[in-house]
Amino acid sequence: MRQREFDLDTTTREAVLRISARGRLILVHPMANRGTAFTLEEREQLGLSGLLPSRVTTIEEQMRRTYAQYLRSPSPLAKFIYLSQLRDRNEVLFYRLLSEHLEEMLPIIYTPTIGEAIERFSHEYVGARGLFLSIDHPELIEQSLTDFELDADDVDLVVVTDSEGILGIGDQGIGGIQIAIGKLGVYTAAAGIHPRRAIPVVIDVGTDNLGLLNSDLYLGEQHARVRGERYDEFIESFVQAVNKLFPNAMLHWEDFGAGNAHRILNRYSDRICTFNDDIQGTAAVVLAAVLAAVRLTGVRLPQHRVLIYGAGTAGVGIADIIREAMSQAGLPADQAYTQFYAFNSRGLIVEDGESVRDFQLPYARSREEVSSWEVEDPSRITLAETVRNVQPTILIGTSAQNGAFSEDVVRAMAENCARPIIMPLSNPTSRAEAHPADLLEWTDGRALIATGGPYGTIRHGEIYHTIAQANNALIFPGLGLGVSVVKATRVTPEMIYAAADALAGLVNEYRPGASLLPSMNDLRLVAATVAKAVARKAEEQGLARRPMTNPINDIYQMMWKPEYPKLEILPADPA
Least confident range from 56-65, 123-132, 290-299, 467-476: namely: 123-132
458 and 357 co-located in one domain: yes
For the segment 405-430, the average pLDDT, to the nearest whole number, is: 94
pLDDT tens digits, one per residue of 238-296 = 999 999 999 999 999 999 998 899 999 999 999 999 999 999 999 999 999 999 999 99
Of 95, 110, 309, 363, which one is the catalytic site residue? 110
- The answer to whether residue 537 is catalytic is no
Q: What is the CATH number of the domain that holds 53?
A: 1.20.1370.30
Residue 28 lies in a domain: yes
Q: What's the burial of 479, exposed, middle or buried (CB within 10 Å: 0-12/13-18/19+)?
A: buried
pLDDT tens digits, one per residue of 426-472 = 977 888 999 999 999 999 999 999 999 889 899 999 999 999 999 99
Residue 116 lies in a domain: yes
338 and 424 co-located in one domain: yes
pLDDT at 98: 95
> What DSSP string runs through 155-188?
-SEEEEE-STTBTTTB--GGGGHHHHHHHHHHHH
- Whether the Cβ atoms of residue 248 and residue 558 lie closer than 8 Å to each other: no
Q: What mean pLDDT, rounded, does the chain reach?
A: 93
Name the residue range of residue 541's domain.
Answer: 476-506+520-558
- Whether the Cβ atoms of residue 451 and residue 425 lie closer than 8 Å to each other: yes
151 and 228 co-located in one domain: yes
Domain count along the chain: 4
For the segment 53-61, the average pLDDT, to the nearest whole number, is: 97
Distance CA 264, CA 274 (A): 10
pLDDT at 509: 77
Give 276's strand partners.
253
- The answer to whether residue 337 is catalytic is no
Higher pLDDT residue, 318 or 14? Answer: 318
Of 79, 183, 532, 537, which one is the catalytic site residue? 183
- Whether the Cβ atoms of residue 234 and residue 138 lie closer than 8 Å to each other: yes
Q: How far is CA 525 from CA 158, 280, 281, 534, in A?
A: 23, 21, 18, 14
- Could you tell me the pLDDT band of residue 168, with boundaries at 50, 70 and 90? low
Q: What are phi and psi of 282, to 5 degrees?
A: -60, -45
Distance CA 427, CA 429 (A): 5
Helix (H) or strand (E) holding 9: strand 6-9
For the segment 223-237, the average pLDDT, to the nearest whole number, is: 97
Distance CA 202, CA 299 (A): 44
304 and 386 co-located in one domain: yes
Q: What is the CATH number of the domain that holds 145?
A: 3.40.50.10380
Number of Cβ atoms within 10 Å of the Cβ of 372: 8
pLDDT at 313: 85
Residue 66 lies in a domain: no
Distance CA 320, CA 317 (A): 5
pLDDT at 431: 87
Residue 415 pLDDT exceeds 80: yes
- Could you tell me the pLDDT band of residue 1, with boundaries at 50, 70 and 90? very low
For the segment 554-562, the average pLDDT, to the nearest whole number, is: 93
173 and 250 co-located in one domain: yes
For the segment 553-562, the average pLDDT, to the nearest whole number, is: 93
Distance CA 449, CA 286 (A): 11
For the segment 80-91, the average pLDDT, to the nearest whole number, is: 94
Q: At residue 80, what is the residue type?
A: F
pLDDT at 355: 81
Higher pLDDT residue, 2 or 359? Answer: 359
218 and 203 co-located in one domain: yes
pLDDT at 2: 45
341 and 445 co-located in one domain: yes
pLDDT tens digits, one per residue of 333-357 = 889 999 999 999 899 999 988 788 8
